[in-house]
Amino acid sequence: MQRTLTTILVFWLLLASSLHAQLSLNPFDWFDGDEEDIVALNIASAAQEAEAATMLETGKAKLLAGSRGSANRTFKKIIKDYPNASATAEARFLRGQIFMAKGNWVKAFRSFQDVINQHPDYENFDQVIGEQFDCATALMEGARGRILWVIPGFKQYNMATLQFEQIVRNAPYSDYAPLALMNIAIVSKLEKKPEQAIDALDRLINYYPQSMLAPDAYYNMAQTYSNLVKGAEYDQGSTRQAISYYEDFLILFPQSQYLGEVESNLDSMEDLLARSRLNLGDFFYYYRSNNTAALVFYNETITIAPDSEAAAEARQRIEDIETGVKPISRASLLRNLLTN
């Protein structure tokens, strides 16, 4: 038994030694330099690079001569036959531009994305992102696909949003990223998706506070929350958020051209919030005969918007309570009106 264990141990030691020797070799020493081994490393051979470059020049000449279809077929063949060649990145890029010229924005964007995914060292990276932005913008502005290459399809707002999101991921530190986020917010409003708009604007505000779009982001965020407000009788979470962003706007951008409009909108939101507190005070005053609770909400009304109509009504209620005026219930008032 002991001899058997010793034999097994020696076998494993020899195996480990052999593996260590192999792993410590230069990985390129495993290959004898033939073309099949080079392809296995996802590296094009010198011959393949030359062939792909020659085909690329042929495709460019066709494109320059106005033969887009023939050029596109040449670029497609380069991509298929020489996926790892340096010329393939340019072939993908030019193919994307051909799709753009045809108004096929989705295929064009996908072709540019292949450049980014497959050729991250492509020298014209900024131009690729710019072309992607143009594709997404075309979809945002209402460009439609074609059904059976003839019939106009539906507007592709959702695809525009997906493309702008991809641009943010592709180039988060470029000037295109905040622009893409703003456009996501615009498209989301068109699609009546306020939550999606709020998410995009929030990222723009937090990640790109120095962007030239920051004032517009604060303004649009406040407007989006304002549009969610249903009235003084409902939950005021959106009202408070709108007030917060309007106030931030006035502090951060005091020279903005929107200043007067923002101040007016802020007054409106504050009045609405104040009226919601007035309504709560009225509930306790008229229906629960709880003057203590009513006074709390009336005072809150005055604090929120001291110059509003709601505040004026709250002051009158406080005076009535302090002078001992007994409230007449709203139900009684309604009955009196109906009987008279």
pLDDT digits (tens, 9 = 90+) for 200-246: 999 999 999 999 999 999 999 999 999 999 888 887 899 999 999 99
329 or 109, which is more confident: 109
Is the predicted pLDDT of residue 32 greater than 60, yes or no?
A: no
Is the predicted pLDDT of residue 145 greater than 80, yes or no?
A: no
- For residue 63, what are its two tokens? 């494109």
Is the predicted pLDDT of residue 109 greater than 70, yes or no?
A: yes
Is the predicted pLDDT of residue 48 greater than 50, yes or no?
A: yes
Identify the pLDDT of residue 143.
79
Identify the pLDDT of residue 326.
78
Locate the domains of the chain by residue range: 44-102, 103-203
Element (H, E) at 24: none
Contact 252, 244 (CB under 8 A): no
Identify the pLDDT of residue 232.
82
Q: What is the rounded distance in angstroms from the CA atom of residue 128 to the CA atom of residue 158?
A: 21
Contact 109, 129 (CB under 8 A): no
CATH 1.25.40.10 fits 103-203, yes or no: yes
Q: What is the pLDDT of residues 248-297, one digit of tens each?
A: 999 999 999 989 999 999 999 999 999 999 999 999 998 888 999 999 99
| Closest-CA residue to 225 (of 263, 197, 252) | 197
Q: What is the pLDDT of residues 172-209, one digit of tens each?
A: 999 999 999 999 999 999 999 999 999 999 999 999 99
DSSP sequence for 98-143: HHHHTT-HHHHHHHHHHHHHH-TT-TTHHHHHHHHHHHHHHHHTT-
Query: Diameter of the chain by CA atoms?
Result: 116
- What mean pLDDT is reported for the chain? 85
| Closest-CA residue to 59 (of 76, 79, 75) | 75
Share of the chain above pLDDT 90, in %: 70
Give 43's pLDDT tier (boundaries 50, 70, 90): confident
